[in-house]
Structure 1
Amino acid sequence: MQPQELENYLQPRFSDCEVKVGGDDYHFLVTVIGEVFEDLNAVKKQQFVYKQLNELIADGTVHAVTIKTYTPTEWSAQNT
């Protein structure tokens, strides 16, 4: 799976978020930006994203993933 394919897979599952995916065929950096993360702790944020990735991890399509989550405010602060 290419990063763009994973991004296309995830985007509809996070309809209220912006999804960005980088990496190679098996190691991905998944960045999800959305208001949904506003009141979640770090563990809950990771679980929220992993829930959508579990099937792909279980079948070996995705071998390794790094997840970064941000609220829009956090994302804006990161990129200024």
Structure 2
Amino acid sequence: MENEKVEALISAGMPGAKVTVTGDGRHFEALVISEDFVGKSLIQKHRMVMATVTEQITSDELHALSIKAFSPEDWAAKQG
């Protein structure tokens, strides 16, 4: 699986999110910034992202996904 495909899956499942994916073909890291994360716990954010790639994880096409999920406000604060 390619980074662009993982990025497209997350983007399709979370319209309006800014998504960046890096990885090596089996292990990926996703940075997802979305208004949908406002007021959500870390676990809720991760579940929202994982729901977009459930089929690929179940089939083992995607082996591991590390997620960094932020609301736009939280991302702006993290950037300084």
Q: Structure 2 CA distance, aligned partners of 1:64 and 1:8?
A: 16
Aligned to 1:45: 45
Q: Report the secondary structure of 1:46's partner residue.
A: helix
- Aligned residue for 2:23? 23
CA contact (8 A) 2:9 2:53 kept: no
Decide whether the 8 Å contact of 2:6 with 2:53 is kept in 1. no
Cross-structure match for 2:11: 11
State how far apart, in whole Å, the 2-side matches of 1:57 and 1:66 are. Answer: 12
Count how many residue pairs are aligned between Structure 1 and Structure 2: 80
C-alpha distance in structure 1 between counterparts of 2:19 and 2:61, whole Å = 18
Q: TM-score, normalised by structure 2?
A: 0.90
How many Å apart are 1:12 and its aligned residue? Answer: 1.7
Runs of 4+ in 1 over 4 A off after TM superposition: none
Residue of structure 2 equivalent to 1:77: 77
Displacement after TM superposition at 1:9 (Å): 2.2
Question: Offset of 1:2 from its aligned partner?
Answer: 0.9
Deviation by residue 1:38-72 (Cα, 9 ceiling, x = unmatched) = 11111111111111111110101100110110011
Q: Distance in 1 between matches of 2:10 and 2:48?
A: 12
User: Equivalent residue for 1:58?
Assistant: 58
Gaps (5+ residues) in structure 2? none
Normalised to the residue count of structure 1, the TM-score between the two structures is 0.90
State the Cα RMSD in Å.
1.2
